Amino acid sequence: MVQLMIACPMTGEPVFTGLYADDPTPPTASAAVGCPHCGDLHEWKRDEAWTEAGAAPAPAPA
């Protein structure tokens, strides 16, 4: 499963949108996701998302 990711506009950190690239019903317009980095709700469009194909970003230090 290839995750659809967006960048948090506040921190620049990647945020998993909760959707997958091979989801049979991907959003056609926009969606919103709760951000684990800044705690805000980010609206995003499909054009802004990228697929996280295997290479996960370095996890943030705990």
Binding residues vs Zn ion (CB under 5 A): 8, 10, 35, 37-38
- Which residues have CB under 8 Å from 4's CB, separation 6+? 16, 17, 19, 20, 21, 23, 26, 49, 50, 51, 52
Residue 14 beta carbon to Zn ion: minimum distance, rounded to whole angstroms: 10
Of the pair 22, 40, the CB lying nearest Zn ion is at: 40
Strands (E) in the chain, as ranges, are: 3-7, 14-20, 30-34, 41-45, 50-52
Residue 50 beta carbon to Zn ion: minimum distance, rounded to whole angstroms: 16
Of the pair 4, 35, the CB lying nearest Zn ion is at: 35
Q: Which residue of this chain has its Cβ atom nearest to Zn ion in the complex?
A: 35
